[in-house]
Amino acid sequence: MTEAIINLESVNPIEFFGVNNGKLDILKKKFPLLKVLSRGTQVKLSGSPEQVETAKEKIDLIVQYLERNGHMSENYFEQILGGDDAETVDHFIDRNPNDILVFGPHGKTVRARTSNQKNMVAAVDKNDILFAIGPAGTGKTYTAVALAVRALKNKLVKKIILTRPAVEAGESLGFLPGDLKEKIDPYLRPLYDALDDMIPADKLGYYMSTRTIEIAPLAYMRGRTLDNAFIILDEAQNATDLQLKMFLTRIGANAKAIITGDMTQVDLPRNQRSGLEKAVRILQNVDGIAHIKLDEEDVVRHRLVKAIIRAYDREKLKEDGNQQ
């Protein structure tokens, strides 16, 4: 039996323990074989030497983060406790500045935070087209936009084009207020949100006004040739076979493209099939096209998102079994 006492005097204990000890409860669940006691500004760990040492290392990383940033969400707290130091914690502790993709407003750093997100970065460096497929919350779109902004800032491309199919998710465009742009903008909002994190507002406004950065629905891509551009097709599971072929054949000289999608969230009408599955299948072995599959281990949203994805996956397995 080994004991260790960790002092939290350099940080706000409430930020470490969480509201109603919510973060402390996460710590106890992550290390169920340890006895974890909190006393004022101290945490006492008791258990096997290996478990105590591992928990202490994780807690030291959390304290480092809090010393520098002052606040940590429960999601970040859980990721540091559960993540592999070489893959997950670098994002929070800034151990490897070379991993940073973009410096955003107010000193924010944007980087690939999971192994598959890092695989996306490596794949884009070596290929001109990348399919990034995975469930919600795995950072597909965010990482793709960061790669596009990095390419623009490094003058590797002259423009960024971000596009999505304007497909209703249980709603009708015709009943939304406003002109065509105002009807379509809500579908493109996640792309705007990602850009807001990476480019100062005044500079983003300039880029948009000069069409250096263009955000448009997929239908607007028809007939164009996209040279010297970094192009992202987001929510590609809502593109038909013909639309996806149309998009892929728009790519011109010195261009890169990332296609993201989640085959579990197809919003097309029942009589239309998604073109994403077919595109991934028939382009699997084409030189210059890479494929990255993300999963629940890449989820970087609220810690419950991972549990929700797993619950839906289990239910789908049950349904598939009942249909056989």
Which domains does the chain show, CATH number per domain?
A: 2-93 (3.30.1370.10), 97-322 (3.40.50.300)
Predicted local distance difference test score (pLDDT) of residue 150: 94
Q: Which two tokens stand for residue 240?
A: 């038909």
Question: How confident is the model at residue 235, as a pLDDT?
Answer: 92
Instruction: Give, in degrees to the nearest 5, the angle at Cα 196 between 255 and 150.
Output: 35
pTM attached to this predicted model: 0.66
Tell me the average pLDDT across 243-248.
94
Buried b / exposed e over 256-291, threshold 16 CB at 10 Å, is bbbbbbbeeebebeeeeebbbeebbeebeeeeebbb
Residue 252 to residue 227: CA distance in whole angstroms: 4
DSSP 274: B
Confidence tier at 323 by pLDDT (50, 70, 90): low
How many CB atoms are closer than 10 A to CB 88?
20
Q: What percentage of the chain exceeds 90 in pLDDT?
A: 40
Span 86-141, pLDDT tens digits = 444 545 555 455 567 887 776 677 888 788 998 999 999 999 999 999 988 888 99
Q: What average pLDDT does the chain have?
A: 83
Mean pLDDT (whole number) for 45-49: 91
